Every structure is written in structure tokens, then in C-alpha cells.
Chain A
């Protein structure tokens, strides 16, 4: 049993503007093993709010959700150990600047595990492992996190969560602000972690290419509602995406364009650039 949303709604309240509904009547189930989920939707559609519910950082205004057997409702319960939920579901925020604070990368990664009553030496080992897992070598351990590049900072902040060994990993736009190569490296890394350890990974992203290439389940948010939950292939075939502020992956767009302009009959549903190229070559030979 992983995470189950049951009619969850959340309202932000502000003094000047009154209530603002961020998510409304969400029903959703995420299992703890082997899922690789993309969460997409236009800005302000409630993706981040949904993600914050997943490790009980915020409580639903109405409805309830179940996280590893703990029932979360709008009221804080004394019986539930919220800290232990955060150990089970790790949430990585979009901007690493919000969490890096120590003078060395090692100490910063150790902060998470150390909050769960383990010894310093154990935490050191975990930090090293997590750092290697995100593709940085041991020389980074002694460096100052604020002197790293944007991509490296991002990896260190992900390592900070990975070191806590969560069962489910939720990442808020981990690939934003990275160059294309960096994006691919990071996505391969997540896919790798997902396949090796079987951890469920939920990733918020705007990049349809990535969604199409990597994921086996996609959640689409639109105007605070969850409007699609299923395979990405199905999503790109059936739904009228432009209405929902989404876009088609580049491969589909290019092949569809070619079909229209040159009156070809290409199979547009190709996941990678290499596959698309093969399809074009195949058509050229005919």
C-alpha cells in the first residue's frame, strides 16, 4: 500500500483574495513498487500542491489520503508520526537553494538521515552512497554546496533525499534549468534507480519528450482537477492536448508535419529521435 487520495481538495487562503482552490476532488492511487509516474499540467494547475500532499507537508482541506497506512485528514493527529511519513516518501523541491545549508556537501546530505536517529558514521556511509547514486564522485563530499553549478546543486539536493532511503520518491521539476544532455543523464539516473531498487518515482515535468520516452504512467492536471491517469501512448493518441495546455512530443510533431506536407504515411508514434529517423529512412527507401 502506497499512497491513496480519496476525494482530496485543498484551498489556499489569503487575507486579501480569499480562498483559492488548488486541487479539487482528487482520487488517485500510487503503489509503492516499480511505478514510474509523470505528473504534468499547465502552471498553476495544482501539480506542486498535489506533490506536497504526498508526504503530508500540507493537509487536505477536505477529503482524506492514506500514506503507508496513515490516514491524513485536515486535522493534525497526535497519533501519526509525520516525520516517519517523510522518511517513507521523499519530496525533492524544484530549487535546491531552499534546502542546501551546510558548509560541505557531505554534511548537507547527512542532514536528512541524521534526523532519523542514526549514528554519524552510518550517515556518512549513506551520504557517500547517495552521492555516487546521483553520479557525483567522492571529491564532491568536501566541497561547498554553494560553489557547485546548477545541475550539481540539483543532484546534491536529490542525494539529500535519496540518503534517507525513501520508498517513494517525488521530484518537483528535477530537469528544469538543465541543458538537454544534463536532462537525459538525470532521467536515465531516475529510470536506473527505479529499475534497480524498485522504488516508485513520481516526477513533475513540462517536457513531453521525456514523458513519452521514459514513463509508463502519466497524470495530467488541469484547472485543479486530475483529468487523465494512464499510459502516455494513450494520452498522445486520444486526448485533445492543446485544450489542456499540453503539447505533443517533438517526434510526433515532426512526423505529423512531414505526413501533412509530403503526403506520407509515416507512423508518427515514435518515442525517440533515433526511432523517428529510422521511420523516415524506411519511408524514404520505399
Chain B
């Protein structure tokens, strides 16, 4: 859980750290829209290249961003596979006969067992899983002797399917990289302040952007705290013999309740304490507040906004042509 990087700020120095949060939010928004307007895979690949160059300019470690992609890797792979398998347009590229015989089934079972055993000892579980999937493919293709269980079928990949799957995956990659850059380089407090300022004009239609920003910043602030508390509760219950990995479903349910009840009670206690602490420091909801650090717009922000507007304009032009 600890290596989830989406929404995590890492202190550092670089171009993106010095930008105004408002600029960053607006620019990321513009560039995201631009990415959605792009239509061919070639354009998207160029956009990906630009995104990577942005990371390099901002001196953000690409490895850290890649680590952040880990939680959504499964999603990416599934979209990729489904696009390939279900899209049947364009020229056929691969047409592979496949057979399911008794021996194939046996080999598949063997591969499954080997995979399960190896996964206990090898650390790179994900690579192992990929190897397992590849072995399924190879077995289905090459083991064609023995009594067939079902009629032979063929595995087809179409050009359009390949294109579409690459398209969708690259687009997701870019979007996530962009949002990671935003959250990685902007303190949550700055981010909410930026949002507050950006949504300020909405006050005219009755939307209280300050309260909204406060709600967001409090919830963001309390994610790690609550996570910490949950960990402590888990340890406390584990030392009373609660076992969260084994046991019958009924026992497990009881053990989940033993986590949830203290969790809620502690959350309520915390919120009451916070409310008291805020009131004792004279917080009055809806009143105008001042800030220690006012946001300032510098030449860098003008530059960044201009570039993002240009990118958006370029994308629109490409779309129209």
C-alpha cells in the first residue's frame, strides 16, 4: 500500500515545483483535453515523447512515475488484451490455429502448478505471471497431438485491434503521467488553494469554493493519519489473536468488524478534536481568511500557460484538419 504514488507529494526542486499551482492545474487540464483530441497513434506517441521530455526538464525521476503506474498496470493490461481480442476491423495480421486436446489440458495444468510454486520463491511475481500467460499461448499453439476436447479454433489479431489497443493504452499512460506530475510536485495544500482560487468566480452562482477547498484539504491531510490509525488497530487486534488471512468466512467477517468499529470511532474522535482545535483558533466558517503565502504569478507561469494553450490549439487544429 505504501508505494501508491498517485496523490503523493515528494519534496524536491525543479521547474514544476516553482510553478504556481493554478498554472499547473490549468495547464494539465488543457494538455489532457489536447490528448483526448488527438486521433492517431503517431500523434499520441509524439505526445508521449513530449510528456517524457517534460519529466526530464522537471527533473522528476521517471522510475518514480513508473512505480506510481504499478497499481493501474492490471487495468492497462486488461484494456490492451480486450482491445486486441475484440476488435475485428482492418487487415488480419495473425491467424494462429489453436487446439485444445487432452495433452494441452495436461500441459496447461502443469504450467499452472509450476507458476504457483515458483511464485512463492521468486520476487518478480508480475514477470512470472507474464511468463505464465506466454506459456499458455505457446502450449495452445504447439501442443496439437492427442485427443481433441473441442474443435480447433483460431486466434486472430487484426491491424485495427492492435492500433486501437496501443492507442488506448498510450493515452491512459499520458493522462496518468500528467496527473502524477501534478500531484508529485504540488503540496496538497497548494493544490487546494489553487483549486479554491480557480473556482472563486463560481461564488456568483452560490458555490462556496472556500469551504469546498477546506473539505478537500482536510480529507487529503487525514488520509495518511487514518491509514496510520488503521495500521495500529490492525496490530492491536492481531495481538489479541485476530488472524486476517486465515479462517472461515464467518470468522473473517467478525475480524473485519473488529477493525471497522474502532476505525469509525477514532475517525469521529479525531474530527471532533479537529473541530474544537479550529474553533479555539477562531475559525469561523464562511468568514474571509488571509493566508501566509499568497500565490504569485510569475513569468514562468505565463510561459507554461502559453505553452499549454498552444498545445491545446494545436490539437484542435489537428482535429479540424
A-B contact count, CB below 8 Å?
A: 70
Asked if B242 CB lies within 8 Å of chain A CBs, one says yes
B62 to chain A minimum Cβ distance, whole angstroms, is 16
Question: Chain B's nearest CB lies how many Å from the CB of A80?
Answer: 13
CB-CB nearest in chain A for B242: A115
Segment of A23-31, A33-41, A97-105, A240-248 in the binding face: A97-105
Most buried by B among A87, A100, A101, A146: A101
Q: Which of B1-9, B128-136, B151-159 contacts A (4 or more CB under 8 A)?
A: B1-9
Interface contact B232-A57, CB-CB below 8 Å: no
Which A residues are in CB contact (< 8 Å) with B9?
16
Q: Does B238 contact A (CB under 8 A)?
A: yes
Interface size on B, residues (CB 8 A): 27
Q: Which residue among A13, A16, A55, A115 has the maximum number of chain B CB atoms within 10 Å of its CB? A: A115
Say yes or no for A47: interface residue by CB 8 A criterion: no
Contacting A57 at CB < 8 Å: which of B239, B257, B258? Answer: B239
User: What is the bound-complex CA distance between A58 and B239, given in angstroms?
Assistant: 11
B239 close to A101 (CB less than 8 A) = no
Q: Is A86 an interface residue (CB 8 A)?
A: yes
User: Interface size class for chain A?
Assistant: 20 to 34
- List residues 168-194 of chain B with CB under 8 A from any CB of chain A: none
Contact status A99-B10, CB under 8 Å: no
Q: Confirm or deny: A116 has a beta carbon within 8 angstroms of a beta carbon on chain B.
A: yes
Instruction: Tell me if B285 is interfacial: C-beta within 8 Å of chain A.
Output: no
- A83–B246 Cα distance when bound, in Å, is 11
Contact (A86, B266) CB under 8 Å given A16-B8, A101-B261: no
B236 CB–A CB distance under 8 Å: yes
> Least Cβ distance of B85 to chain A in Å?
36
Asked if B233 and A86 make an inter-chain contact with CB atoms under 8 angstroms apart, the answer reads: no
Q: Is the CB of B238 within 8 A of A86?
A: yes
| In contact, B8 and A99 (Cβ under 8 angstroms) | no
Inter-chain CA distance A99–B262, complex, in Å, is: 7
Q: How far is the CB of A143 from chain B (nearest CB, A)?
A: 16
Chain B positions within 8 Å of A111 at CB level: 240, 242, 258
Separation of A196 and B11 alpha carbons in the complex (Å): 55
For A10, what are the chain B residues with a Cβ–Cβ distance below 8 Å?
Answer: none
Contacts of B251-293 to chain A: CB distance below 8 A: 257-258, 260-262, 265-266, 269
| B235 interface contact, C-beta 8 A | yes
Cα A15 to Cα B67 in complex, Å, equals 11
Interface 1/0s, chain A 50-77, versus B by CB < 8 A? 0010010110000000000000000000
Any B CB within 8 A of the CB of A91: yes
Structural contact, B235 and A52, CB atoms closer than 8 A? yes
Contact of A98 among B8, B11, B232, B241 (CB under 8 A): B232
Residue of B nearest to A91 (CB): B239
A249 at the interface (CB under 8 A from B): no
Q: Chain A residues in contact with chain B, CB under 8 A?
A: 13-16, 52, 55, 57-58, 83, 86-87, 90-91, 93, 97-102, 111-113, 115-116, 146, 160-161, 164
Can you offer 6 A-B residue contacts whose CB atoms are under 8 A? A57-B235, A102-B261, A111-B258, A112-B240, A146-B265, A164-B241
